């Protein structure tokens, strides 16, 4: 496959710190991008930053911080979290405030075409006329009569309560810095028009894929599609929506007090483990976070790490050490080509790990080298290759460091016992480590350990 792919992903509204849902969404499209790249496509991925929005202004006012300072500080938090779990930087990452002229141009085209109007109450608001666009509701398969009111502005200036804001006139009490001049008076853009402008600015009026969280399908993506098509743009060919995250069986929300923030996750496990966990479910399914989720991910990843470490060590010095070819098996490709079937692809990966360990047990180094190449290729595509230098410093968590120190001390004690011919003590140490999921392998270069979970 050769060609190009343009992907637009709705990025964060930088009103507050990133949570698990933000990371899960960004990771889903990182997996898509990596697979498209591997498949031979030159991918342009645009992920925006919504840095002007009602919630940004409200939170800034509550904290006494300038809105633009809060937005930038929060944006840095998102970037740091993305980088920590190995999400590749987007090709372009535009801020909404940098595309105000493009937003106004789309609004002008909508007004001229009869699909938008300025409020007659002198507020400076401009609305999309939903009744004027018969296709409104096509993305979410809804009829206009069944839709709820758009609660993004004062309904008194609207022709219909379901009309949504394209431009919001400056209101008393809002900071002057959160206002731009326009043909309809000073104000700022509505939320939905921002993504229509940024996506077409960087990808053109027709592009391949538009992605975002399932919670954005309505009204955000429905409104994006309607205003863009009504303005004359073909817009996105395909829409992808990643599932949401629940916590211990409940929807995550601030009102329930069960939000899991990126900082919480990264304090609880290695970044590589967090990435494995967040990317283990199908992107369209809801992801359940509960006590033990990260431990399960650690155990699964430990099996992969154990095989890679063992294979590299056992093949070292043999003629098979340089014969490893990194290529994915057909079953992995089939899974990924089928709507990005990562769970099935992980099944192929773990089967290769099991077969690889079996080959090493039988000292079939030719087969072990072949399987090592498969595992390296699959983990690299998924961004979970433990041998990738990106994880060298990121994964040195205090928990991992403490475990390493404890196990190696016990191995030293075991070696001392063996030299003293105290085999009972040596066997006891080995058995206790085995009960903890740690496998010991005695070789000519000493004892090596791996965590099997």
- 63 is in which domain, residue-wise? 1-95+243-291
In a domain, 106, yes or no: no
Residue at a domain's end among 345, 360, 394: 394
Confidence bin at 436 (pLDDT 50/70/90): confident
Residue 31: which residues within 8 A CB-CB, separation 6 or more?
279, 283, 340, 342, 382, 383
In a domain, 359, yes or no: yes
Q: What is the pLDDT of residue 397?
A: 47
| 268 plus 296 within the same structural domain | no
For the chain, count helices (H), then strands (E): 15, 13
Q: What is the pLDDT of residue 374?
A: 97
Top-confidence residue, 102 or 147: 102
Q: What is the DSSP letter of 95?
A: B
Give the angle 46-47-50 at the CA atoms, nearest 5°.
130
Q: What is the pLDDT of residue 216?
A: 96
Counting the structural domains of the chain, the total is 3
Residue 305: which residues within 8 A CB-CB, separation 6 or more?
386, 450, 451
The mean predicted confidence, pLDDT, of the chain is 91
Q: What is the DSSP letter of 426?
A: H
Q: Distance between CA atoms of 345 and 304, rounded to whole angstroms? A: 14
| 301 plus 378 within the same structural domain | yes
Q: What is the DSSP letter of 176?
A: G
In a domain, 85, yes or no: yes
* Number of residues written out for the chain: 453
Omega before 152 within 30 of 0, i.e. cis: no
In a domain, 102, yes or no: no
In the chain, what is the greatest distance between 2 CA atoms, to the nearest angstrom? Answer: 94
Query: Is the predicted pLDDT of residue 395 greater than 60, yes or no?
Result: no
Confidence bin at 406 (pLDDT 50/70/90): confident
Query: Is the predicted pLDDT of residue 452 greater than 70, yes or no?
Result: no
What stretch of H or E contains 116? strand 116-118
Residue at a domain's end among 373, 394, 415: 394
Mean pLDDT of 95-124: 96
Residue at a domain's end among 291, 311, 329: 291
| 5 plus 46 within the same structural domain | yes
The closest alpha carbon to 287, from 62, 28, 109, belongs to: 28
Q: What is the pLDDT of residue 440?
A: 77
In a domain, 225, yes or no: no
Q: What is the pLDDT of residue 398?
A: 45
Mean pLDDT of 406-411: 74
In a domain, 82, yes or no: yes
Number of neighbouring beta carbons within 10 Å of residue 92? 15
Give the angle 113-236-27 at the CA atoms, nearest 5°.
140
Query: Is the predicted pLDDT of residue 396 greater than 60, yes or no?
Result: no
CATH number of the domain where residue 386 is located: 1.20.120.640
| 30 plus 80 within the same structural domain | yes
Residue 49 in contact with residue 92, Cβ under 8 Å? no
In a domain, 38, yes or no: yes
| 382 plus 411 within the same structural domain | no
Top-confidence residue, 444 or 40: 40
| 247 plus 325 within the same structural domain | no
Residue 8 in contact with residue 204, Cβ under 8 Å? no
| 447 plus 407 within the same structural domain | yes
Flag the least confident range among 235-239, 370-374, 437-441.
437-441
| 301 plus 386 within the same structural domain | yes
- pLDDT tens string 195-235: 999 999 999 999 999 999 999 999 999 999 999 999 999 99
CATH number of the domain where residue 274 is located: 3.40.50.620
């Amino acid at each position: 496959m050769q060609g190009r792919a343009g992907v637009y992903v709705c990025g964060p509204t930088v009103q507050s710190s990133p949570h698990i849902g933000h990371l899960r969404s960004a990771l889903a499209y990182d997996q898509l991008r990596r697979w498209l790249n591997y498949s031979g496509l030159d991918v342009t991925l645009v992920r925006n930053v919504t840095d002007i929005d009602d919630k940004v202004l409200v939170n800034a006012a509550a904290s006494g911080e300038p809105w633009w300072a809060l937005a930038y500080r929060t944006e840095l938090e998102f970037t740091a979290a993305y980088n920590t779990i190995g999400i590749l930087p987007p090709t372009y990452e535009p801020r909404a405030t940098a595309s105000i002229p493009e937003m106004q141009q789309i609004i002008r085209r909508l007004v001229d075409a009869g699909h938008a109007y300025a409020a007659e109450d002198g507020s400076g608001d401009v609305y999309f006329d939903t009744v004027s666009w018969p296709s409104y509701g096509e993305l979410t398969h809804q009829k206009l009569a069944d839709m709820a009111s758009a609660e993004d502005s004062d309904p008194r200036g609207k022709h219909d309560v379901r009309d949504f804001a394209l431009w919001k006139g400056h209101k008393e009490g809002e900071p002057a810095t959160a206002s731009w001049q326009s043909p309809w008076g000073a104000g700022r853009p509505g939320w939905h028009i921002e993504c229509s402008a940024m996506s077409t600015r960087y990808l053109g009026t027709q592009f391949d894929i538009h992605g975002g969280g399932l919670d954005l399908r309505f009204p955000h993506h429905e409104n994006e599609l309607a205003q863009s098509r009504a303005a004359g743009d073909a817009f996105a060919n395909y829409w992808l929506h990643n599932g949401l995250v629940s916590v211990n069986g409940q929807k995550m929300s601030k009102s329930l007090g069960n939000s899991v923030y990126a900082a919480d996750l990264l304090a609880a496990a290695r970044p590589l483990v967090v990435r494995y966990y967040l990317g283990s479910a199908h992107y369209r399914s809801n992801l359940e976070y509960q006590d033990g989720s990260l431990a399960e991910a650690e155990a699964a990843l430990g099996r992969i790490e154990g095989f890679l470490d063992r294979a590299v060590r056992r093949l070292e010095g043999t003629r098979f050490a340089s014969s490893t070819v990194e290529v994915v098996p057909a079953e992995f490709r089939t899974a990924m080509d089928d709507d990005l079937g990562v769970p099935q692809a992980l099944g192929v990966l773990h089967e290769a790990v099991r077969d690889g360990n079996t080959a090493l047990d039988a000292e079939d180094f030719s087969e072990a080298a072949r399987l090592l190449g498969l595992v390296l290729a699959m983990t690299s595509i998924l961004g979970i290759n433990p041998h990738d230098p990106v994880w060298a410093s990121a994964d040195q968590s205090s928990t991992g460091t403490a475990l390493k120190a404890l196990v190696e001390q016990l191995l030293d004690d075991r070696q001392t016992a063996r030299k003293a011919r105290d085999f009972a003590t040596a066997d006891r140490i080995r058995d206790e480590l085995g009960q903890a999921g740690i496998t010991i392998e005695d070789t000519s270069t000493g004892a090596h350990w791996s965590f099997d979970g």
